[in-house]
Amino acid sequence: MKARCFAVIPAAGSGKRMGAAIPKQYLTLLGKPVLQHTIERLLAVAAVERIVVALAADDPRWPALPAAFDPRVMTAIGGAERADSVLAGLRALAAEARPDDWVMVHDAARPCLRPDDVEKLLAELEGDPVGGILALPSVDTLKEVEGRDIVATVDRSRIWRALTPQLFRYRPLTESLERALAAGATITDEASAVEWAGRRPKIVEGHPGNIKITRPEDLPLAEFYLRQQT
């Protein structure tokens, strides 16, 4: 039986590093909230059957988004950390997702995702028992530091920057995340939970325009990349 595909979008953050008056996922880019752009990117992928958006418990802005009325979109209440929000989204799929179905987790703060990159991720990982992530190779020389002192130059051929979506099988991802969090592991992306569980996710090279909106200077760059796709 062909594996179905679901998506979880962690969108419950407060955007402290952005320093805006509202959470960054609700800032406007090209006349549309960041979160609406992001959801539209995943809705453009036919294989994605259901999208769970993990929202802050006190999020008053969600009902104003067109995505709130899309039949493929549902919501869950996120948690204190990104990983908690992802887990809440995964648990919201418990009635629908089978153990080996795919779930892709994609940051609400990454609105410039190209649907072609999602198709590439799905194609390259088809049949893979574990899953993997979109990532970028390092084009700069990388230094290991202690305080302000350089202590080593790292072999950049072995270092990639993790992006999202991150695509894993439903039950292994959910169980790995639950166990890693219960063990107090530091989990900043889904792959780190899967690695913690002893598995080796694959990397699939993504587009450098798939930036994460984190600081104010990211906004014009995100607009540039969004304009490239219109």
Summarize as ranges the residues that interact with ligand LQXTBERG (CB under 6 A).
82, 107, 162-164, 188-189, 212
Count of residues touching ligand CTP (by CB under 6 A): 22
Nearer to ligand LQXTBERG (CB atom), residue 5 or residue 83: 83
109 binds ligand CTP (CB under 6 A): yes
DSSP strands (E only) in 109-177: 131-137, 142-146, 149-154, 160-169
**What are the C-alpha distances in Å from 58 to residues 12, 39, 95?**
9, 20, 25
Q: Which of 42, 52, 53, 54 binds ligand CTP (CB under 6 A)?
A: 54
111 binds ligand CTP (CB under 6 A): no
**What are the C-alpha distances in Å from 204 to residues 81, 119, 120, 135, 160?**
26, 11, 8, 6, 10
Whether residue 211 contacts residue 24, with contact meaning beta carbons closer than 8 Å, is answered with: no
| Rounded CA Rg of the chain | 17
Q: Which of 21, 57, 80, 139 binds ligand CTP (CB under 6 A)?
A: 80
32 binds ligand CTP (CB under 6 A): no
28 binds ligand CTP (CB under 6 A): no
Q: Which of 36, 75, 85, 176 binds ligand CTP (CB under 6 A)?
A: 85
